[in-house]
Chains A and B, each alone.
Chain A
Amino acid sequence: MKKGLHPLVMIALVAMVTLAGRALPTWTLSLATIAASNALIALGIVVLARTGNVSFGQGLFFAAGGYGVALIANTWGLTDAVAQVIVGAACGGLLGLVIGPLIARYSGIFFGMLTLALSMVFYGALVKSTALGGSDGFNVGRPSLFGMSFTDPREADFMLYAVSVIVTGFAGIAATILFRSEFGLASLAVRENNLRVEYLGLSANRIISINFLIAAIFAGASGAFALMAQRHIDPQFAYWTTSGEFVFVAVLAGNQSVAAVFVASMALELVRSFSNLYLPNTWQLVLGVFLLGVILFLPRGIGSLWIRDRHRRRHISATPPLTAERGAAP
């Protein structure tokens, strides 16, 4: 991690990618928007996974962000894209603040099950709430930016693309800084052996809670983007297969590199749209085979393709990709 990019270089990269959107054809633009939004939530899962816990219920915060934004947009007419992202992040974050400390005690499979259960509770509640449109959901208007409204669909698409790439980019930079910080290294230590972390005077629960909160904030913001891109929301946001897809991106990316999350997310969206186009009803098949291949041949994700040599010594100790070794956690 010492040889990582300087944050200023990363900011320049984000700016370049944003401007490149001007040259992209329209269909890639909306694809890239979804990919950036999914990358944001997957990034949250990676942040959390560094503590050894995989959340199978990020759909909960995704839906909380989406519904929060949609309700505020429809009642108070808040259409500003940036404000919507902030609202989404706040909704996800508030929920994460409540839930995080409660489930920080769990690890491994129980952590996954509990997050899944909570997201399914939310799904069940959403389906039955007729005020929120039940299982059909409801529509919201087109987002604006700083008082400008976009009538040309191409301009609107680019605006959304720009906002999502910039927000996700900055989240990525923040995550990189976090990973290199003392706190980020302590998170890794929790994954390796949380008992020793406690002996060193740190609170493993607190570390997990904070990482959980970060993941929830990212998920909420990602929900806001998904809402703006689709201009429609329904309980499917909270369904477990939605969460599963985000975990998929995180596994594909591995926890070595932030850039890998973006690459993985974009790869997934490309695979999805091409198999939708040419092989209908098989994209889950492709996805499944892809996932098996990654787990089998790239256990540390596609990030390990270009960060192979940096941690020679950790190769031996850190082969399990996302979580602590079995039985290491009491």
Chain B
Amino acid sequence: MDILFISKYLVVIALIILMLAALRAGAYKSTSMGLLASSVIINAFAVVLLIGGDIYNLGFYRDISLALIFFGFVGTVVFAVVLGGDDK
């Protein structure tokens, strides 16, 4: 096993730990914290997919992670605008 393979798995493990931490932080009472946690989990999952696709040579994982990053951003911003309301 070369060091590159091990380091990819290290990043995946770290991302899984961060997803669990974000899930714990998202249980805070405010809606914004849940929004932040969901955004972080989506981005972490996109990076996990990207690294998984790189390990197993699967091309379409990159497309899925691109869609997750882009539409995750759009959904987060739209929800934040709806939550914040209009400017006075």
Q: Do A and B come from one complex?
A: no
Interface residues of B (CB under 8 A from A): none
Interface residues of A (CB under 8 A from B): none
